C-alpha cells in the first residue's frame, strides 16, 4: 500500500500547482476524486536497472475533456545526471511535463521514455520509484517531524532520518523544538515556515534517494537566510542525480547544464545560460524583463527609507 500511495502524495503536491485560488483542502479532494486517466502496466522485470534518462518524442498533450493543446511536438532529451532548467510563460506546460513523466496522463501522440523504455510499458511503481518531487507546497501530515521525514522511506532507521535532516539543514531547528523529532507538526501542530517545510521535503527526498529529482519552484517565497540554507541542502540533494528544475525565477536555472525554453507547447530554445543570453531570443528577453522588474522592486523598497 505504502509503495503505491507515497508517490500519490507527492503527485498531490505537484498537481496542487495547477490549482491557483483553491484552498489546500479543495485541492486535495479534487485530486483524490480525480480518476486515474491511464491504466497501470503490469510490472515486468527489467533486464537491467532503469537508467535515469528522459526522452520526450513528438509529444502532443491536452488534459482530458479540455480543448486547449498544452504540448504539441514537444521534443527533448535529458541525459543521466544532467541538470536541466525548464522555463517558459506561466501556463506554458512546465508542470504538465512532470505529470506526464509520472504517467498521470498519457500523451495523445508521441512517446515518453524513461531509461529508453516507453512509459506505457513500465508500471507506476517502476516509474515513480525513480522520481522524487520537491515542491513549493509540500504536504505535511498531522504527525511527528520524524514521521513526516520518514515518509520518504518508511523503513528508514532513526539515525538515517536524522542524517537526512542534517543534510537538509533542518536538524538544528528540529532539535530545538519542544519534543525534538517527536514534535507534532501539520495543521494542528507546530507550524513550519515555508522554508522549513521545503527543508523537510528535501530531507524526505534524500531518504527516498531516487536517481531523478524534480525541483518545482523550490526557492520561491523564502527570505535570504532561508534561501542560502535551502540552496545548500538542494546542492547536496542534486549531487549525482538527474534533475529537472521548474522555475519562474530565472535565477534558479542559471547554473543548469542546459535550459529548455517552452513556448507554444514546444521547446523553442535549448542551451546553457551563456549561449541563450548571447543568442538574444526569448530567454534573453525574459531575463531582461526579470532584471527590470527586480530593480523596479528595489526602487519601491528603497523609497520609504529615502523619504
Ligand atoms: P506555471 O509556471 O504557472 O506553474 P506551467 O508552465 O507549469 O505554469 P502547467 O501547470 O503545466 O503550466 O499548466 C498548463 C496549462 O494546463 C494551464 O493553462 C493550466 O491551467 C492547465 N491545466 C493544468 N492542470 C490541469 C488539469 N488538471 N486539467 C485541465 N487543465 C489543466
pLDDT tens-place string over residues 128-180: 899 998 886 778 888 999 999 999 899 999 999 999 999 999 999 999 999 99
What is the average per-residue pLDDT within 58-83? 97
- Confirm or reject: Cβ of 95 under 6 Å from ligand 1: yes
Q: What is the pLDDT of residue 222?
A: 64
Beta-carbon contacts of residue 230 (< 8 Å; ≥ 6 apart):
169, 195, 198, 199, 202, 218, 219, 222
Ligand 1 centre from 209 Cα, in Å? 28
Residue 301: per-residue pLDDT? 57
| Residue among 69, 90, 91, 250 whose CB has most ligand 1 atoms within 8 A, to mutate | 91
**Using a 6 Å cutoff on CB, does residue 135 contact ligand 1?**
no
The Å distance, Cα 264 to ligand 1 centre, comes to 13
CB 90 near ligand 1, within 6 Å = yes
Distance 75 CA to ligand 1 centre (A): 19
Flag the least confident range among 26-30, 55-59, 167-171: 26-30
* pLDDT at residue 26, rounded to an integer: 33
Q: Name which residue sits closest to atom 31 of ligand 1, judged by CA.
A: 63
- What pLDDT, on the 0 to 100 scale, is given for residue 252? 81
CB 91 less than 6 A from any atom of ligand 1: yes
Ligand 1, closest atom to CA 97? 11
Check pLDDT > 60 for residue 32.
no
Q: Whose CA is nearest to atom 27 of ligand 1?
A: 63
pLDDT, position 23: 32
Question: Nearest residue CA, atom 29 of ligand 1?
Answer: 63
Q: What does the pLDDT average to over 293-307?
A: 61
Arithmetic mean of pLDDT, 272-280: 96
Distance 22 CA to ligand 1 centre (A): 14
Question: In this predicted model, what pLDDT tens digit does every residue of 167-199 receive, in sequence order?
Answer: 999 999 999 999 999 999 987 888 888 888 889
**Residue of 11, 18, 59, 249 to test ligand 1 pocket, by largest number of atoms within 8 Å of CB:** 18
pLDDT digits over 228-254, tens only?
A: 888 888 899 999 999 999 986 788 898
User: What percentage of the chain exceeds 70 in pLDDT?
Assistant: 82
User: Do 93 and 100 form a contact (C-beta atoms < 8 A)?
Assistant: no
Task: Give the integer Cα–Cα distance in Å for 169 and 141.
Answer: 20
Q: Which of 29, 35, 37, 95 to mutate to test the pocket of ligand 1 (most atoms within 8 A of CB)?
A: 95
Residue 53 has a pLDDT of 98
pLDDT at residue 273 in the model: 95
Grid cell for residue 300 = 519601491
Confidence band, pLDDT 50/70/90 cuts, at residue 29: very low
Distance (Å) from CA 17 to ligand 1 centroid: 8
Residue 299: what pLDDT? 61
* Lowest mean pLDDT across 18-27, 55-64, 148-157, 267-276: 18-27
**Which of 115-119, 158-162, 302-306 comes out lowest in average pLDDT?**
302-306
215: left (phi over 0), alpha (psi -120 to 50) or beta: beta
Q: How confident is the model at residue 68 (pLDDT cuts 50, 70, 90)?
A: very high
pLDDT at 65: 92
Q: How confident is the model at residue 280 (pLDDT cuts 50, 70, 90)?
A: very high
Q: Which of 59, 96, 220 to mutate to test the pocket of ligand 1 (most atoms within 8 A of CB)?
A: 96
**Average pLDDT score over residue span 66-94:** 95
**Choice among 23-32, 45-54, 58-67, 99-108 with the minimum mean pLDDT:** 23-32
The pLDDT score that the predictor gives to residue 302 is 54
Burial 219-258 (b: 16+ CB within 10 A, else e): beebeeebbebbeebbeebbeebbbbbbbbebebbeebeb
Atom 30 (ligand 1): residue with closest C-alpha?
A: 63
Amino acid at each position: 500500500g505504502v509503495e503505491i500511495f507515497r508517490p500519490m502524495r507527492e503527485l498531490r503536491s505537484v498537481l496542487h500547482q495547477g490549482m491557483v485560488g483553491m484552498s489546500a483542502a479543495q485541492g486535495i479532494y479534487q485530486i483524490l476524486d480525480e480518476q486515474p486517466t491511464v491504466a497501470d502496466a503490469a510490472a515486468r522485470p527489467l533486464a537491467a536497472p532503469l537508467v535515469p534518462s528522459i526522452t520526450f518524442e513528438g509529444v502532443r498533450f491536452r488534459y482530458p475533456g479540455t480543448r486547449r493543446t498544452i504540448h504539441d511536438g514537444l521534443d527533448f532529451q535529458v541525459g543521466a545526471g544532467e541538470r536541466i532548467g525548464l522555463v517558459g510563460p506561466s501556463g506554458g506546460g512546465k508542470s504538465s511535463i512532470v505529470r506526464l513523466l509520472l504517467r498521470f496522463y498519457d500523451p495523445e501522440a508521441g512517446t515518453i521514455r524513461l531509461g529508453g523504455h516507453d512509459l506505457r510499458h513500465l508500471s507506476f511503481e517502476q516509474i515513480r520509484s525513480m522520481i522524487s518531487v520537491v515542491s513549493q507546497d509540500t504536504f505535511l501530515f498531522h504527525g511527528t517531524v520524524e514521521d513526516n521525514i520518514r515518509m520518504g522511506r518508511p523503513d528508514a532507521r532513526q539515525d538515517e532520518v536524522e542524517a537526512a535532516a542534517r543534510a537538509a539543514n533542518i536538524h538544528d531547528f528540529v532539535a530545538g523544538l519542544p519534543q525534538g523529532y517527536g514534535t507534532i507538526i501539520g495543521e494542528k501542530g507546530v507550524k513550519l515556515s515555508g522554508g522549513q517545510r521545503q527543508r523537510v521535503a528535501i530531507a524526505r527526498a534524500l531518504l527516498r534517494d531516487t536517481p531523478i529529482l524534480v525541483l518545482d519552484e523550490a526557492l520561491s517565497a523564502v527570505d535570504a537566510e532561508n534561501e542560502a540554507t535551502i540552496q545548500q541542502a538542494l546542492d547536496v540533494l542534486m549531487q549525482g542525480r538527474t534533475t529537472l528544475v521548474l522555475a519562474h525565477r530565472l535565477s534558479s536555472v542559471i547554473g543548469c547544464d542546459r535550459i529548455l525554453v517552452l513556448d507554444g507547447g514546444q521547446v523553442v530554445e535549448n542551451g546553457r545560460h551563456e549561449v541563450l543570453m548571447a543568442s538574444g531570443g526569448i530567454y534573453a528577453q525574459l531575463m531582461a524583463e526579470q532584471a527590470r522588474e527586480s530593480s523596479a522592486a528595489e526602487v519601491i523598497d528603497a523609497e520609504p527609507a529615502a523619504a
